[in-house]
Amino acid sequence: MRTRSNLMPILGASLLALGIGNTVLGLTKLPEYRARKHAAVAIAGDSARRMTQGTAAILDPATDAQLLFDSAFTKYEYYRVVLRGGIWLTAMGLVLLGGVAVRRIFLRTASVQS
């Protein structure tokens, strides 16, 4: 049976791998959706920034540029959360792996002194 101290490197490496993956995904997708937002504004001007939700959306039909902007805005915000989560997971993985390394060094030093 594995003890908790044996599972910490596995947990740290898993968090690190997930964090790096999310960070890379966020960093690659954010510029794409930022460009799509700017393209929608370039097509229709500032009217594309009006959200197509709520009562106004029922009364005023949305243009293609507004729909493009809304879609890009939603995905941009999603990948911003993915990026932030990736940074957080990477940091937690590094902290765990650092703690494991310090603990092993401390235990090795303590066993040599005994």
pTM of the predicted model as reported, rounded to 2 decimal places: 0.80
CB contact burial 6-40 (16+ within 10 A = b; e otherwise) = eeeeeebeebbebbeebbeebeebbeebeebbeeb
Structural domain includes residue 30: yes
Structural domain includes residue 101: yes
Q: Helix-strand-coil percent breakdown of the chain, rounded to 5?
A: 90, 0, 10
**pLDDT single digits (tens) 63-86:** 788 888 888 999 999 999 999 999
State which residues of the chain have pLDDT below 70.
1-2, 4, 51-58, 114
Structural domain includes residue 4: no
Structural domain includes residue 89: yes
Tally the domains of the chain.
1
